[in-house]
Chains A and B, each alone.
With several copies, the nearest count.
Chain A
């Protein structure tokens, strides 16, 4: 259940020019979080920027006392967050939202991450490989370029299949990860009914995933990002439209949705 708590910063590691991994101490969140859940963080103490910022839970420490978020500096809030250091404390709401539903044993599992989409999928992957044959799991990792590619080495050493692509071809295959994913399931002639797909990434990419999932009637869960005010289901600001026209709240009805069910733009 969602709690409001004051979490001490344990570390804030710079992974790339603009990408940071922040480790926060919180037994409550670490013990109860599931892959797909997120936290809503008050980044500034002087209320500027005003609203909280949402971040997927990226990993939970083995001893379940700390958790990580992986974030990219894109504006004021993330800039402030990038300057947090051990000893600082952070006001956190979490864990929030629904989670990915783990696949049935017999399924072939595919994770498709674009850019920062790796954030929640890494938590999911770590759960999956505890229960699944590593070679039944394939990770599609996409980025704009070599410089922005994250976690390729780590993923390689995890033992599951890894397919890397960059928009400019500077490493791995060249092209959008969604297209690589589509080609791969065509080439290998996978039966869509036997697949379980999980995806996260930029809006445009997830839009492509919903198209693919709808066309192939694929079980595909996507984690959405949208501007959030309350983060607890109260304001109805963070909505996504379902096929039937009904609006759902990303914060508490999501952030994970069946790609066949939502209309993205």
Chain B
């Protein structure tokens, strides 16, 4: 039976059954949520950031709650690309959903090396390149915080892989549109935004920063207005698929991002609040199409009325 209301989207030649992804670093390697939700219901799963070598990450504490948000300074803890391929890909490959591997590195060479090794794998649909992690000393945000280095990083990666590439952008910049233009120029197939805002919290009793890493990345509903403004600006200015991220808790929030111009969305912190969030939003979007008698979810994308 043909679906009457169509949630599917195409990004860079990849077809997703719906526009709901789970955001890197908030969903482990997928398997952690297998007991809690039906992963096949998702548009796709994005893995934790993978680096060339295993990383232990930052000292504890690594998370703290803030008003309507949280700070994290995990520090890209992950098992390294080889272990990832051996231990995690087999599970991911079996899922009836799209798999996007998020890649990070301290040097462009490292990004390229990870991408090369992933290119030999079956079961991956796309890569998301994290040039926006605020919680590591080298790399990460360094690449995402100016158009030139963002360009250089994405260009090199594109030269070494045939996977479609999503460049994940940082909000900690004066002009995110400039960075988006640079990565488009470099060949990125899509952009995702936003990664976390740099933030800090202090324990006034101990007179110490709460996080082991001193600063961390702010996520959750607190940052939704910032994310939405950036998505709207980038979608308006750059002719590239935009994936919206930041504080999405429910269908309403997801609709805001779609209207602002995002063709897909990612659920991050909300997975911690309620593991069902992403599945609820898939259902919620379906219900919305029905209620409003809109045929395709893509008919909503960017349909914000400005007078």
User: Is chain B found bound to chain A in the same assembly?
Assistant: yes
**Would you list which residues of chain B between 51 and 76 have a CB under 8 Å from chain A?**
56-57, 59-65, 67-70, 72, 74
Residues of A within 8 A of B27 (CB): 234
Confirm or deny: B221 has a beta carbon within 8 angstroms of a beta carbon on chain A.
yes
Candidates A2, A50, A228, A231; contact of B35 at CB < 8 Å: A2
Q: Which residues of A contact B60 (CB under 8 A)?
A: 226, 238-241, 247
Name the interface residues of A119-135: CB closer than 8 Å to any CB of B: none
A-B residue pair count with CB separations less than 8 angstroms:
101
Is B273 in contact with A51, judged by CB distance below 8 angstroms? yes
Report the separation of the CA atoms of residues A33 and B59 in the bound assembly, to the nearest whole angstrom. 31
Given contacts A232-B32, A247-B56, A48 and B68 within 8 Å (CB-CB): yes
- The reply to whether B69 and A2 form a contact with Cβ atoms under 8 Å apart is no
Nearest CB in chain B: distance from A253 CB, A: 12
CB distance B26 to A235 under 8 Å? yes
A4 to B271, CA, bound (A): 12
Interface residue? B90 (CB, 8 A) = no
B275 touches A232 (CB 8 A): yes
- Residue interface bits B10-40, CB-to-A below 8 A is 1, else 0: 0000000000000001111000110110000
A189 to B36, CA, bound (A): 49
A52 to chain B, nearest CB (A): 7
Bound-state CA distance A172–B271 (Å) is 46
Binding site of A, secondary structure by majority: helix, strand, loop or mixed? loop
Interface residues on A, range: 20 to 34
- Residue among B60, B221, B269 facing the most chain A CB atoms (10 A cut-off): B60
- Residues A93 and B275 in contact in the complex (CB < 8 Å), given A229-B70, A232-B32, A235-B28: yes
Interface string of B74-117 (1 = CB under 8 A from A): 10010000000000000000000000000000000000000000
Select B36's contact among A4, A91, A240, beta carbons within 8 Å: A4
Per-position contact with A for B208-230: 1 when CB-CB < 8 Å, else 0?
A: 00000000000011000000000
A110 to chain B, nearest CB (A): 28
Partner of A231 from B56, B65, B272 at Cβ < 8 Å: B272
The reply to whether the CB of A183 lies closer than 8 angstroms to some CB of chain B is: no
Q: Are A229 and B72 CB-contacts (below 8 A) given A235-B25, A247-B57?
A: yes
Chain B positions within 8 Å of A93 at CB level: 36, 275
B residues less than 8 Å from A239 (CB atoms): 57, 60, 62, 77
A227-B63, A234-B26 known; A50+B221 contact, CB < 8 A: yes
Tell me if A136 counts as interface (CB < 8 A to partner B): no
Give chain B residues whose Cβ lies under 8 Å from the Cβ of A42: 273-274
Complex Cα spacing A264 to B60, Å:
10
Contact A232 B77 (CB under 8 A): no
A61 within 8 A of B: no
Chain A contacts to B: CB under 8 angstroms? 1-4, 42, 47-52, 91, 93, 226-241, 245-247, 252
Given pairs A50-B269, A234-B32, A237-B72, 5 additional interface contacts (CB within 8 A): A2-B35, A50-B68, A228-B63, A234-B27, A238-B62
